[in-house]
Chain A
Amino acid sequence: GAGVSQTPSNKVTEKGKYVELRCDPISGHTALYWYRQSLGQGPEFLIYFQGTGAADDSGLPNDRFFAVRPEGSVSTLKIQRTERGDSAVYLCASSFRGGGSGANVLTFGAGSRLTVL
């Protein structure tokens, strides 16, 4: 597609529920990233995929958070037993390739705003 698409744009759930957030990256982009942005803060890294595999998941806050990218394109971020502190905007980004140069330009989606009541 023309850009990175994230669904849903807004999700309100109750504490303890399970949530899935979807990211559809730019076609042909092999690298995909998830970030979390809390109110008044900059985005914080969660996980990075190169192809189908998670190359770096060091930012996932705990084992309630999990992400998959089974076919190397669409990715799903899964949050179990949601807590009020999980409320944030979850951002997805993709780039043409990873490669570790540190200079790759990421294209971000508009984000999924999660509110846990």
Chain B
Amino acid sequence: GAVVSQHPSRVICKSGTSVKIECRSLDFQATTMFWYRQFPKQSLMLMATSNEGSKATYEQGVEKDKFLINHASLTLSTLTVTSAHPEDSSFYICSARGGGGRRGGLDTQYFGPGTRLTVL
């Protein structure tokens, strides 16, 4: 089926540093990628939607200057958490839309494995 990867899978950083998370669609072209945040035992919280070649659309309450999203190609989107603080510690998950007909329709969202961010 359609595969979405994330890198790194886990990152620990000091407060004040910036962290970049990559999301790649490995076997399909994703015109739209989504970034989510998930706290333990809670549902996904959509942070932003990014379309290739255009600026990301952020959900209400998500600081665009803090969570920088770049979607430079149809297979890669990056999320940079700038000046990270302990409250930014979370599980960040990306998803990519598209994928063809092998599993799911053309408009299915496929998720990456997630990135666990811990800010000390």
Task: Check if A and B associate.
Answer: no
Binding site for A on B (CB under 8 A): none
Binding site for B on A (CB under 8 A): none
